[in-house]
Every structure is written in C-alpha cells, then in structure tokens.
Amino acid sequence: MSKPTTHTRNRPAARSPRPRRPARRTNVLPILLGVVVAMAAIAIAIGVASRSGDDGTTVAQNREVVASGRALTPYAGTAADPAVGQPIPDLRGEGFDGRTIDVAGNGTPKLIIFLAHWCPHCQAEVPRVVDWLAASGTPQGVELVAVSSGVDRNRPNYPPSSWLEREGWTIPTIADDTEGTAATMFGLTGYPYFVAVDGQGRVAARASGELSVGELEALLAKARG
C-alpha cells in the first residue's frame, strides 16, 4: 500500500536584515559662517546709516545745532545796521567730519561766513576766499568760521560737503540743521552772508553778497576793532 504523497509548500527564504544606514550629520560650519557674514553686513549697514544723511549720502549734510542767547535782527543791508553792538548768540554744532564747532563771544574776534551750495554768488565767493587765504595766510587775531545752510538736495551743486572739499575750503564749517537755526539766529536774509564779531562778542559789521578781497579785509579790521 503506497504512502500518501505529502505536498510541502516552498517557503520563501528568510531575508537577511538590512544594514542600518549611519545617521546623517549636519555640517553646521557653513551655517555659522552665513550667520557671521549676515551679522557683519547688518553692523556695517547700521554704521553707515549712523553717519549718513536721509538722502543716502555718506556724510550727513545737516546736523544738530544748539543755540542760546538772543537772535540778531534780520539783516536789511542798510548803512545803519541795528545789529551792530548786539551780542551774538552762542552756537554749538558739528562739521561734516562730526567734530564739534563752537561759536561764542569768548574774547576772540571772528568773521563768520554763511554759504549755500546752490547759490551762484557763494560759488563765486568760495574760490575767492580760498585764493585770498592761500596768498595772505590765516588772518592774525581773527578766527574764521563758516556755516553751510539752506541745504537742498534737489538744487544744484549738492552736496555742500563735496563742493567745499573740491574747492579746497579749509575754514571750520558748521553744518546747519534742517530748520536753519544758525542762519536764523544770526539774522541771515541772503547768501553769502558775513558777520564780523569783535573781541567783546558783539557784532562789529555785517554784509551780504559777493565781497572783494578788500571788503573782506575791511571786515577783519572791524572785527579787530
């Protein structure tokens, strides 16, 4: 008697376990370098913004001016100037390089020159003053100070800092604020504008418009008293 045939199912071969892949490591060095570069760029941007104007120039063309005292009578160009003999107001401002510049009745005679970059008469006067000082040297016993005022980036010859640098202007120059505080306190009504101050801190003479070298020297003489 034959034995019954036994049917055996073919079982699939057991699969070998897959080898585990090593965990991927994230290289953080490029990320750190990117963060450092970004922070440096932000710091540079902040630094540039802190010393630049709202118009994007690298030098602020208007700066804070602190004034004290009484404003001078506005200049009318008459022979009898009511401001002569009046004490000048005190000013504290900054040059285009950020240095503090003071104007005060401190016992030193002064000649203060107000300029506007767009004024054609100022553009003619500045090189005349530069040549005059180059030929005769710094005036003895009189301090020269200038004020850049009336700044307007939409008008010609902007910015004033670049204009004066091109002309070789070496007189310490206050950058007036956007309200024209310095100009108003000294009674400015037109450019260029000159105020001679005596040793007692009082107005000795005022003038406006283009001046010759002889007229400039006459203002110095009045400042000296």
Do 122 and 32 share a domain, yes or no? no
Residue 157 within a domain: yes
- pTM metric for this prediction: 0.76
pLDDT at 72: 98
Q: What is the CATH number of the domain that holds 157?
A: 3.40.30.10
- For residue 23, being part of any structural domain is answered with no
What span, in angstroms and rounded, lies between the C-alpha atoms of 145 and 98?
A: 15
| pLDDT range class, residue 58, cuts 50, 70, 90 | confident
pLDDT tens digits for range 118-152: 999 999 999 999 999 999 999 999 999 999 999 99
Residue 75's pLDDT is 98
Q: Tokens 């699939």 — which residue?
A: 12
Which residue range forms the structural domain that includes residue 136? 66-224
Choice among 49-63, 162-176, 196-210 with the minimum mean pLDDT: 49-63
Check residue 44 and give its pLDDT.
38
On whether the CB atoms of residues 146 and 112 are closer than 8 A, the answer is: yes
Nearest CA among 102, 106, 25, 120 for reference residue 65: 102
* DSSP one-letter code for 202: B
- Indicate the pLDDT class of residue 15, thresholds 50, 70 and 90: low
pLDDT confidence bin for 89, thresholds 50/70/90: very high
> Which of 58, 78, 107 is the endpoint of a domain?
58
How far apart are the C-alpha atoms of 119 and 155, rounded to whole Å?
Answer: 9
pLDDT of residue 29: 52
Verify that 197 and 92 share a domain, yes or no: yes
What is the per-residue pLDDT for 79? 84
d(CA 57, CA 43) in angstroms, rounded, equals: 18
Last residue of a domain, one of 10, 37, 58: 58
- β-pairing, 143-148 vs 110-115, is parallel
- What is the identity of the amino acid at 43? A
Residues 53 and 90 in one domain: no
Higher per-residue pLDDT: 37 or 92: 92
Cα 8 to Cα 6: distance, rounded to the nearest angstrom: 6
Q: Do 46 and 74 belong together in one domain?
A: no
| Residue 139 and residue 100 in one domain | yes
With 70 as the cut, is the pLDDT of residue 12 above it? Answer: no
- Residue 176 reports pLDDT greater than 90: yes
49, 95: one domain: no
In terms of domains, do 102 and 37 share one? no
